[in-house]
Amino acid sequence: MKKTTNGFRQRVLCSSPAPIILSYIDGSWTDRLAGGRVALGVDGRAATLTIEVRPGARAEKGEVGDFLRKRHSIESVQITRRGLRKRLRALLHAAELPEFSVRLTAGGRVVVYPANAFFGPDAVTLNLG
């Protein structure tokens, strides 16, 4: 893990676009966004997964704008890329930290949610809030 200037230990898990599925509180969802860079940071008793949200391969023009408008009402994030799921699972199990959060960034805006991770056979589901 690399130490950043603020003292956090951080490991980049993925630097190429990884598909993500976002579910919102109002029941809507999108599978047209991607995590451009995904990193796991560890600070004391807490782990934070940072996902830079970008348009995915099938994204329409307003997808990131919709995300920015709804960023405070996200219910869950699903990560489907197999290698990323495996690395995240291994690191979270090895760290055994009591606190976990997800930090989503896009267009210079940031939102952080407390989270619980569920490791299913086809995706990691991060339940937020």
The number of CA neighbours under 13 Å toward the Cβ of 108 is 0
Asked if 85 and 38 touch (Cβ cutoff 8 Å), the reply is no
What is the reported pTM?
0.87
Phi, psi dihedral angles at 72 (to 5 degrees) = -90, 5
99-106 and 109-119 strand pairing: antiparallel
Per the model's pLDDT, the better-predicted residue between 55 and 5 turns out to be 55
CA distance 96 to 89: 11
Using one digit for the tens of pLDDT, what is the confidence trace for 36-82? 999 999 888 899 999 999 988 777 778 898 999 999 999 999 999 99
Asked if 7 and 39 touch (Cβ cutoff 8 Å), the reply is no
99-106 and 46-55 strand pairing: parallel
Q: 């109002």: which residue's tokens?
A: 26
Q: What is the pLDDT of residue 43?
A: 84
Using one digit for the tens of pLDDT, what is the confidence trace for 81-128? 999 999 999 888 888 888 899 999 998 999 999 999 999 999 999 999
Q: First and final CA of the chain: distance in angstroms?
A: 27
Q: pLDDT band at residue 2, thresholds of 50, 70 and 90?
A: low
CA 126 and chain centroid, separation: 8
Q: Which two tokens stand for residue 37?
A: 């860079």
